[in-house]
Amino acid sequence: MKQIYFLCTGNSCRSQMAEGFAKKILGDQWRVASAGIETHGLNPRAVKVMAEKQIDISKNKSKLIDPQYLKTSDLVVTLCGDARDRCPVTPPTVQKLHWPLPDPAQAQGTETEVMQVFRNVRDEIERRIEQIKKE
């Protein structure tokens, strides 16, 4: 079974959404997890926009990187520059992808505008995970 790890700074938004999509899209062929360099807690807006896609991440927890899981992953996806730059060293057997997506938690404006940023990031993550499935 292949193993994928989604990493972000706080494991609160992007990596959590990626984990939710990967579990649905990649199915039983992949072991899926997400983590952060730090733990910031699960962002309620991320939960809300994923629910719009019928994916429940409300029970997810913000987790720190597990070095053993990292070393044994087939694919590690960083979703921000901070995670990419601070990610522990992985063996050469681990494929790495970097998706430089904006942090929706930093979005400003009205609630409607902020939620649109969350949806845009969510939809881009979904598109990229669909691409992994095709490869």
Catalytic residue among 87, 107, 114, 115: 87
In 3D, which of 105, 34, 97 has the Cα closest to residue 63? 34
Active site residue 87: yes
Catalytic residue among 5, 6, 7, 8: 8
Active site residue 8: yes
Separation between Cα atoms, residue 40 and residue 42, nearest integer Å: 7
Catalytic residue among 17, 80, 101, 105: 80
Alpha-helical segments (H) within the chain: 14-25, 44-51, 67-71, 81-86, 111-134
Q: At 61, which amino acid appears?
A: K
Active site residue 80: yes
**Residue numbers annotated as active site:** 8, 80, 87
